[in-house]
Amino acid sequence: MNLDKRVRAQDRHVWMDLLRGLAILLVILDHAADQVTSNTGSPLFGVTTFNDAISPFRMATLMFLSGFLLPRSLAKPHSEFVFGKLGRIGWPYLVWSGVILGLIAATSSLSGNTSVDLHQVLRIFYNPPSYLWYLAYLLIFYLVSLFLPTVVRSLLIPVALVASQLLQDQDEWQRMLFLFSFFLAGDLIARSGNLLGAMVVSWPVMITASLIATTTAAFAALKIPVRYEAIWAPGTAAGVLILVALSMLVQSRPFGRWVAKYGQHSIVFYVTHWSAILITFNVLVRVGVSNIWVLFFASLAAGLFVGFLFVWAQRRWQWVGYLFHLPLVSLWRSLRGAKTQQSRAAE
């Protein structure tokens, strides 16, 4: 079966879950390697180069996928839209930001990091103090989009890119605006009919995208600033398109279905992996392990294992699921239903 038939035959959520799972895997790989290299000063040859090469595409892909779902989300009543995003994005961000800061404080004597203070805790609400900044940005993007007309969302794509380039001296704003443009690009593509499907089955488009993405990855591997740079946005977009095409290509195969299955729980892997990596690395160093490859593979395995463990646990015990999702929409519906019944009874 060729790619065109697969694109038409498969539900878009299969390839989306697959790509989301692969993107999170790349994030975990990067964090495991960074934990080792930043604390030992020794590069992981091959792994470090690969992580640098793929760095322009990881978070941009996740933001594109989230934006791709925006039209469907906006079709819901506004109250359910807001409560849904607060429960599925805001809640795990708060819970796991607290867990991460607690672990940093607990391991400060081993890692040498400064103990967590009140200022760092308060930053959870205005300047994310950990890698969970992605969830904070995503929540902001969704809530802001609720108040933006369709045409404005489209026009903001180049505006956000230009603004990110003008704010190069402010890393966080540059990163946020750059990723906002990819979030909005996902929204635009989702509203463009079968444009995405047409692009991934067009060989001229895919060959051109492959060349541009490969060039972008090569420059990134050479330590040239590429990630979150607006002038490199076409290269990042090309890389995202290639990853989308590859996901569509393998979504019906056993490996693709398996990754997609766990990609549905990508937020579980995302919020839990770093804690496992931090604990594993510090314990191994404490007992005298110094080989960087042992530290790396052990940290990577721990980051993946804890995700699988929590996915299994939340299926077995409902309360575990509350660590990753607060059912605010259900609570809102119940409350609204109770008020309606009271009103009818009063009549």
Q: What does the pLDDT look like over 185-241, one tens digit per residue?
A: 999 999 998 899 899 999 999 999 999 999 999 999 999 999 999 999 999 999 999
Distance between first and last Cα of the chain? 62
Reported as half-sphere exposure (CB side, CA atoms, 13 A), residue 136 has a value of 19
Spatial distance between the Cα atoms of 36 and 290, rounded to a whole number of angstroms: 10
d(CA 275, CA 99): 8
State the pLDDT at residue 9: 39
Please say if the pLDDT value at position 334 is more than 80: no
Q: Where are the alpha helices (DSSP H) in the chain?
A: 3-9, 12-40, 47-54, 58-68, 70-74, 78-85, 91-106, 108-111, 118-122, 133-145, 150-166, 171-190, 195-200, 203-221, 233-250, 254-263, 266-286, 292-316, 318-321, 328-346
Backbone angles phi, psi at 227, to 5 degrees: -65, 130
User: Based on the structure, what is the number of domains in the chain?
Assistant: 1
Give the Cα separation of 347 and 185 in Å (integer).
Answer: 50
- Average pLDDT of the chain to the nearest whole number: 89
User: What average pLDDT score do residues 237-255 get?
Assistant: 94
Q: How far apart are CA 302 and CA 68, in angstroms?
A: 31
In the prediction, which pLDDT does 119 show? 82
CA angle 79, 83, 88 (to 5 degrees): 150
Q: How confident is the model at residue 11 (pLDDT cuts 50, 70, 90)?
A: very low
Instruction: Quick: pLDDT tens for 262-299.
Output: 999 999 999 999 999 999 998 999 999 999 999 999 99
Question: Any residues with CB less than 8 A from the CB of 91 and at least 6 apart, and which?
Answer: 324, 325, 326, 328
Domain containing 157 equals: 3-346
Contact 62, 22 (CB under 8 A): no
Q: Give, as one character, the DSSP assignment of residue 264.
A: T
Gyration radius of the chain over CA positions: 21
Stretch 128-141: mean pLDDT, rounded?
A: 94
From residue 35, alpha-carbon distances to 29, 71, 115 in Å are 10, 37, 18
pLDDT at 104 over 90: no
Answer yes or no: are the C-beta atoms of 272 and 307 closer than 8 Å. yes
pLDDT over threshold 50, residue 70: yes
Length of the chain: 347
Task: Please give the structure tokens belonging to residue 300.
Answer: 């990577």
